Amino acid sequence: MQSDLLAKLKALAEPTRLRIVSLLAQGELTVSEIMQVLGQSQPRISRHLKLLADAGLCERFPEGGWVFYRLMRTGPVSRLAALVEEFTEANEPQVHRDRQRLQELKRLRAEEAAKYFEAAAQEWSQIRSLHFSDAEVEAAMLDLARERRFKQHVDVGTGTGRILELFIDQADEGMGVDLSREMLHVARAKLTEAGLSSRFVRQADASALPLDEGAADLVTLHQVLHYLPDPQAALSECARVLAPGGLLLVVDFAEHHHETLRIQHHHRWLGFPPAQVTAWLQTSGLTLKSLRTLEPEGIEGGLTVLIWAAERPIEGDEDDV
């Protein structure tokens, strides 16, 4: 334990690495972004990041041709990072320049995300016009998780990161997963803009989540299943990463006949019969706790939204499945 602490303190005992830790405390960054802020070469920044990673102060996540770095958020590392921030003088010229450049990077990131979001907004607006309001769907999700506290929230098919933000007051940490790099750019920009440094996103497939078994106690899939080639496999994977007693919330459409959603919006499935998803959840070893039906009012041929709430049984409770 003492040697581990000494290794971490040694890794921090260099001005550039302290600057990097201070930057990463604001959210995850790529090597290129850190280079732009610090004005140093790629080999030098990479070397500093490797030393920080070797000491267990940060972790790296490849995403396509990019690699993102993020501070470790658990245990003594989070306290060390907080100390670095506490002793970093914001009015110090070098620190002030670093933070100004970081804000500019965030602004550019947000602009890029906004362009993609604007291009997709019309499509999403058309779909929303057919079903229950987003606000009421979100209120129902919160109600199903009321009075519960979560350590780790995983949002599968995170899109803009909105569901990560929705549960910010109930979950200590949150990770969004999406296969689309464009959507990950949008989510990162929106989470950064909202100041949610405890939330981050990763590129991964819904049927192969980058998590250990039982790693999350809240998993959400909001309007994701109808895009997937194998929804049952995705639900089984969500069940795998769900901790005993953990909650899985699945939001999707009831079975419908809007063929245009398949043709124009790439929906693989035209909704699902409630019993089908319930059976998939039970096959995955989960217990259905609730099924909410939200039917649109005053929308001819509107889409019904279903919300399944399921739990992984705690050992000894299997007979309740």
7-58 pLDDT, tens per residue?
888 888 898 998 898 888 888 888 888 998 998 998 999 999 999 999 888 8
304 and 197 in a common domain: yes
Dist CA 17 CA 278 (whole Å): 50
66-71: strand order across its sheet? 29-30, 66-71, 58-63
| % the chain with pLDDT above 70 | 85
Dist CA 317 CA 283 (whole Å): 16
Specify if 93 maps to a domain. Answer: no
pTM as predicted: 0.74
Of 64, 88, 112, which marks where a domain is finished? 88
Select from 246, 248, 67 the least CA-distant residue to 156: 248
76 and 132 in a common domain: no
Dist CA 160 CA 183 (whole Å): 6
Specify if 207 maps to a domain. Answer: yes
166 and 297 in a common domain: yes
Specify if 245 maps to a domain. Answer: yes
150 and 249 in a common domain: yes
Query: What CATH number should be reported for the domain holding residue 83?
Result: 1.10.10.10
210 and 274 in a common domain: yes
140 and 61 in a common domain: no
Please say whether the beta carbons of 226 and 271 come within 8 A. yes
Select from 202, 189, 182, 144 the least CA-distant residue to 162: 189
Specify if 95 maps to a domain. Answer: no
Stronger pLDDT, 71 or 255, i.e. the higher one: 255
Query: What CATH number should be reported for the domain holding residue 297?
Result: 3.40.50.150
170 and 290 in a common domain: yes
Specify if 215 maps to a domain. Answer: yes
Query: Which stretches of the chain are DSSP H helices?
Result: 2-12, 15-24, 31-38, 42-54, 75-86, 93-128, 134-144, 162-166, 181-193, 231-241, 259-265, 274-283
Stronger pLDDT, 67 or 16, i.e. the higher one: 16
* DSSP labels, 2-39: HHHHHHHHHHHSSHHHHHHHHHHTT--EEHHHHHHHHT
Specify if 233 maps to a domain. Answer: yes
C-alpha distances in Å from residue 191, one per residue of 32, 49, 168, 187: 20, 23, 11, 6
Dist CA 98 CA 105 (whole Å): 11
281: containing domain: 121-320
Dist CA 112 CA 219 (whole Å): 28
176-233 pLDDT, tens per residue?
999 888 888 888 888 888 888 889 999 999 999 999 999 999 999 999 999 898 999 9
- Can you give the pLDDT at residue 273? 95
- pLDDT greater than 50 at residue 321: no
Angle between helical axes of 31-38 and 93-128 (0-180°, round to 10): 140
Query: Residue 76 — left, alpha, or beta (φ > 0 → left; ψ -120 to 50 → alpha)?
Result: alpha
Question: Mean pLDDT score of the chain, rounded to an integer?
Answer: 85
274 and 127 in a common domain: yes
158 and 61 in a common domain: no
* Of 101-115, 123-137, 234-248, minimum mean pLDDT range: 123-137
Do the bridges between strand 287-294 and strand 171-178 make them parallel or antiparallel, or are there none, so unpaired?
unpaired
Structure tokens at 141: 């999700």
Specify if 265 maps to a domain. Answer: yes
Structure tokens at 265: 């919006």
Q: Give 109's contacts (C-beta < 8 A, 6+ positions apart).
A: 185, 188, 189, 192
- Can you give the pLDDT at residue 278? 97
Of 70, 88, 106, which marks where a domain is finished? 88
Domain count, the chain: 2
84 and 128 in a common domain: no
To which H or E segment does residue 156 belong? strand 150-156
216 and 73 in a common domain: no
228-269 pLDDT, tens per residue?
989 999 999 999 999 999 999 999 999 988 888 887 777 889
* Of 219-223, 225-229, 295-299, 302-306, minimum mean pLDDT range: 295-299
Give the other-Cβ count within 10 Å of 107's Cβ.
13
125 and 60 in a common domain: no
Specify if 227 maps to a domain. Answer: yes
